[in-house]
Structure 1
Amino acid sequence: MRLTLVRHGETVWNAERRLQGHADAPLSERGIGQARRAAEFFAGTPAPSLVVSSDLSRARHTAELLGFSAFATDRRLREMDLGDWTGRWIKDIEASDKGAYRDWRLGVSTPPRGEEWEPFCARVGDALRDAVGRSEGDIVIVTHEGVVRAACAILVGLPPSRLAPVSPAALTIFDIDRAAPSHAARLVAFNLAPSPGDLRTQGLDHAPV
């Protein structure tokens, strides 16, 4: 079984370097273009057995642009709740608490009143197991950067500190062995961006969630 996770396209807040979490800014024009380019990956291939999207509109819009007209939604596939950082600009967070944003990206701190890493991974893991359990074939999940990072930790043991930022509309692909204990997984591709220009490399803070 192949499990493909797709991050949503760039949003207006992403472009402004403003944090979203459970808030829900619309896709930017660039994000719409990114999702349409990512759709080429699925064109001409057999349809997946199951498509699931986060219930937030930026993920649902991306799923539609990828060419999936029918898909389930799952609230557990939402981005991490960023608490008091929701809606804030990264530069303001760094100015008021230097290093806090970087430490959060590394998985070693939690935003004030935000969701902690372990509970976040627990809900993402539950959603992934449910999807694998109810599908007989390949799965596509349209979601958020934090969920992709959590999936890497859950499925192949890669912590946030070992991962580069996930670009908008990038694909991350796993092969899942359903016959193995705990559905053993192998990472096939990480951060496969729609085009080279979408693969930005400005360090840990280049792609606000």
Structure 2
Amino acid sequence: MTDALKLLFIRHAQSTGNLERRMQGHGDYPLTNRGRSQTRQLAERLRTENCVPTAIYTSPLKRTVQTAEILCNAFASERLVEFSVHYVPELAEFQNGVFQGLTWDEAKAQYPDLCHQLETHHDWIAIPEAETLQDARDRAQTILNHILTNYQNGDCVWLVSHSWIMQHLISELLGSPRSWRLRVQNTAIFEFWIDQSRWHRSDINQLNTDLWQIVRFNDVSHLDCD
């Protein structure tokens, strides 16, 4: 199905917050040197595969913007293609309230009772000043509805985002009422091919796997083994 609408979900490269094991949330952490290297490896892979974007959507946070810029430059520097870049808050990471920027040890020191509850209970516990799980799923639905309405078969759309919101994006795209935990690696690619012309139909073709294909899932084969 080479004429499908192709969606690439891409997690940002390693950030300083990742390296320091911080709960980054909406904090603006830049890429590390390793993160920049990871992104260049991904860019080379996408160029080699001639995976040319029609449009790129990215979270407005620094670590995703820098990842998207490096990827864009790999194509734009040689004028290989022209495409639009959109910065959308729906793709931002979990707004994690009072935990933003803290390591888990720092959080336990500042909020011992809350952290004890989170460590000992599996039901959802609200974090003060943070968004809810439904907020995340609503964001995922909003951005996917926009993409599936505004792009057609033959287009290729990249979404550069974060691990937490990507879990909800993928679950929403697959039509699951549950959001599933995924261990999303830095610069991982999830690629889906969709027959956009049949997406909104409710007939037997919903079960036709020729029309809905998972091409790559948490793929980081472009990275060095470091």
**Normalized against structure 1, the TM-score is what?**
0.81
- Structure 2 partner of 1:195: 223
1:147 corresponds to 2:161: no
1:6 corresponds to 2:20: no
Query: Residue 182 of structure 1: CA displacement?
Result: 4.0
Which amino acid is the alignment partner of residue 54 of structure 1? S
Q: Which has the larger radius of gyration?
A: 2
Match among 90, 107, 112 for residue 104 of structure 2: 90
Higher mean C-alpha displacement, 113-122 vs 172-181 = 172-181
Structural RMSD (CA): 2.6
- Structure 2 partner of 1:108: 124
1:67 corresponds to 2:67: no
Instruction: Give me the identity figure in percent.
Output: 25
Q: Which runs of 5 or more structure 2 residues have no equivalent in the other structure?
A: 77-83, 207-211
Residues 98 and 75 of structure 1, relative CA distance in 2, 3 Å threshold:
same
Q: SS of the residue aligned with 1:66?
A: helix
CA distance in 2, matches of 1:13, 1:36: 20
CA distance in 2, matches of 1:17, 1:55: 21
Which amino acid is the alignment partner of residue 158 of structure 2? V
In the alignment of these two chains, the number of paired residues is 195
CA distance in 1, matches of 2:9, 2:120: 24
1:120 corresponds to 2:130: no
Deviation per CA, 1:155-204, whole angstroms, max 9, x where unpaired? Answer: 112844x4331111111111223123448654332211232637xxxxxx
Match among 61, 64, 68 for residue 56 of structure 1: 61
Deviation per CA, 1:120-176, whole angstroms, max 9, x where unpaired? Answer: 11112211221232223111111111221111210112844x433111111111122
Q: SS of the residue aligned with 1:52?
A: strand
- Structure 1 partner of 2:146: 130
Residues 34 and 129 of structure 1, relative CA distance in 2, 3 Å threshold:
same
CA distance in 1, matches of 2:120, 2:190: 23
Query: Residue 30 of structure 1: CA displacement?
Result: 1.1
Q: Which runs of 5 or more structure 1 residues have no equivalent in the other structure?
A: 199-209
Residues 158 and 166 of structure 1, relative CA distance in 2, 3 Å threshold:
farther
Q: SS of the residue aligned with 1:34?
A: helix
Which amino acid is the alignment partner of residue 151 of structure 1? L
Which amino acid is the alignment partner of residue 33 of structure 1? S
Query: Residue 26 of structure 1: CA displacement?
Result: 0.7
1:81 corresponds to 2:109: no
Which amino acid is the alignment partner of residue 123 of structure 1? R
Q: SS of the residue aligned with 1:179?
A: helix
- Structure 1 partner of 2:34: 30
Query: Residue 61 of structure 1: CA displacement?
Result: 0.7
